[in-house]
Chains A and B, each alone.
Chain A
Amino acid sequence: MGDKPIWEQIGSSFVQHYYQLFDTDRTQLGSIYIDASCLTWEGQQFQGKAAIVEKLSSLPFTKIAHSITAQDHQPTPDSCILSMVVGQLKADDDPIMGFHQSFILKNINEAWVCTNDMFRLAIHNFG
């Protein structure tokens, strides 16, 4: 870890924490959002910790497992961290699906919180 840039350490720790919480008890994800956070989930928008957690908690599966294929992290001009994740997930007994997710992390009052979160399943209209 010592040689990795700080934004990469913060970003990869966040990613690990986020998917671990998501896969074990996603009602706990409220701790990473603030009231100004935005989530776009499959094109649908939610703003604020309460609305975001309600959406995540009400997703129609009981079991989910995420597996990360690749993750990238960059520092932004405003001292935030931009993270992009490519992975696969398995919900209940559905087939494995690819997904894309991006986050902006910002340090507010000495804690890193997620101000922006975008999620899409990797479903294309193959021609």
Chain B
Amino acid sequence: MADTPMWEQIGTGFVQHYYQQFDTDRVKLADLYTDTSCLTWEGVGFQGKNAIMGKLTSLPFQTIQHSITAQDHHPTPDSCVMTMVMGQLKADQDQVMGFQQVFLLKNIDNKWVCTNDMFRLSLHNFGA
């Protein structure tokens, strides 16, 4: 880890924590958001910890497993960390689906929180 840039350590630490919590007990994800955090979930917007947790805890599956294919992290001009994740998930007995998720992490009062979160399943209107 010593040679990994700081923002990458923060980003990968967050990603590991986020999906582990999501897959085991997603109620605990509340710790990662603030009252001004924004989530866009499949194109629908939610603002604030309460609204975000209301959405995440009401998603219609019992079990879910995420697997990360690739993750990228950047420092931003405002000292945040931008993270993009591409992966696959399996919800209940549904088929495996690809997904994309982007986070913006910001250090507020010595704690890294997620101020922005966007999620999409990788579903295209394949022509052929």
Q: List 27 A-B contacts (CB under 8 A).
A: A36-B77, A38-B75, A40-B84, A69-B123, A69-B124, A72-B118, A74-B40, A77-B115, A82-B82, A82-B102, A82-B104, A84-B120, A86-B100, A86-B124, A88-B124, A88-B126, A100-B84, A102-B84, A104-B74, A116-B76, A116-B82, A118-B82, A118-B84, A120-B70, A120-B72, A120-B84, A127-B96
Chain A residues touching B, majority SS = strand
Question: What number of B residues sit within 8 Å (CB to CB) of A?
Answer: 36
Report A's interface with B, CB cutoff 8 A. Answer: 36, 38, 40, 43, 69-70, 72, 74-78, 80, 82, 84, 86-88, 96, 98, 100, 102, 104, 106, 115-116, 118, 120, 122-127
The 10 A-B residue pairs with the shortest CB-CB distance in the complex, in nearest-first order: A78-B78, A100-B100, A72-B40, A40-B72, A84-B118, A118-B84, A74-B38, A84-B102, A102-B102, A72-B118
Residues facing A in B64-94 (CB within 8 A) are: 69-70, 72, 74-78, 80, 82, 84, 86-88
**B116 interfacial contact with A, CB 8 Å:** yes
Could you mark each residue 92-106 of chain B with 1 if its beta carbon is under 8 Å from any beta carbon of chain A, else 0? Answer: 000010101010101
